[in-house]
């Protein structure tokens, strides 16, 4: 992917993570979570270990970027992807066993 598209994907991933955090915290704490500081509230561990295999943990910055890259390759417009769209469509792009 070219650098301009990746820059938009990384920015959009922070907005998606911020939207996800807003669903987890109370109304008073929503104002504290912004796209600039959302990484401070995420877990530090990016991988999980299961059946002698490392998997990328769900809802980390790296995981959201990888799913967004797959969505853009399938033809979705990165400017129209928000948290609600991402939450309803990311299941098609997850390849981990359930």
Domain coordinates in residue numbering, the chain: 3-91
d(CA 61, CA 44): 10
Q: Report the pLDDT value the prediction gives residue 44, as an integer from 0 to 100.
A: 87
pLDDT in tens, 50-83: 999 998 888 999 999 999 999 999 999 999 999 9
* Angle subtended at Cα 44 by Cα 2 and Cα 11, rounded to the nearest 5 degrees: 30
- The confidence score (pLDDT) of residue 43 equals 85
d(CA 76, CA 28): 34
What is the rounded average pLDDT of the residues 10-24? 95
**What percent of the chain stands above pLDDT 90?**
73
């Amino acid at each position: 992917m070219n650098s301009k598209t990746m820059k938009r994907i990384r920015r959009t991933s922070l907005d998606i993570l911020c939207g996800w955090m807003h669903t987890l915290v109370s109304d008073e704490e929503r104002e504290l979570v912004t796209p600039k500081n959302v990484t401070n509230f995420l877990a530090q561990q990016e991988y999980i270990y299961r059946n002698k295999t490392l998997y990328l943990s769900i809802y980390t910055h790296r995981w959201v970027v990888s799913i967004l890259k797959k969505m853009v390759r399938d033809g979705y417009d990165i400017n129209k992807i928000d948290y609600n769209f991402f939450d309803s469509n990311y299941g098609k792009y997850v390849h981990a066993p359930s």
